[in-house]
Amino acid sequence: NAGVTQTPKFQVLKTGQSMTLQCAQDMNHEYMSWYRQDPGMGLRLIHYSVGAGITDQGEVPNGYNVSRSTTEDFPLRLLSAAPSQTSVYFCASHPWEDNNYGYTFGSGTRLTVV
């Protein structure tokens, strides 16, 4: 049981480049989210999904796209990277019907945009 798997773990991009951060979970969780974590600002919600085919925006969605074609996968796309997107990105999931179950987080992707 791998839990939530994020790839890559580290990435350096040049300004203007695009890339996709991968996230996959094998727990059959309906709810998946992407957060970014910056020093002193905690975790901020980028996008989330309540199930396959359904996505919505969080607190800081600009510059990012998501899709949810399967229950397992929830990739995050950076359309045109900017230095302000330098951050640690976490993908997380939890089962929709069990509120007593907190998020399971992936190990994170550390992204630097130069």
Tokens 């993908």 identify what position? 91
Count residues contacting other proteins (CB under 8 A)? 25
CB of 28 to other proteins, least distance (A): 18
Q: 55, 68 in Cβ contact below 8 A?
A: yes
Residue 35 or 74 having the CB closest to other proteins:
35
Identify which of 113, 112, 114, 104 has the alpha carbon closest to the alpha carbon of residue 23.
104
Does 99 sit near other proteins (CB under 8 A)? yes
CB of 110 to other proteins, least distance (A): 9
Q: Segment 39-98, which members bind other proteins (CB under 8 A)?
A: 40-45, 48, 50, 56, 58-59, 90
Residues 76 and 48: their CA atoms lie apart, in Å, by 10
Residues 31 and 62: their CA atoms lie apart, in Å, by 21
The region of 15-23, 61-69, 77-85, 103-111 touching other proteins under the rule CB under 8 A is 103-111
Strand-pairing partners, residue 44, are 36
Alpha helices in 1-114 (DSSP H): none
List residues near other proteins by CB under 8 A: 31, 33, 35, 40-45, 48, 50, 56, 58-59, 90, 99-108
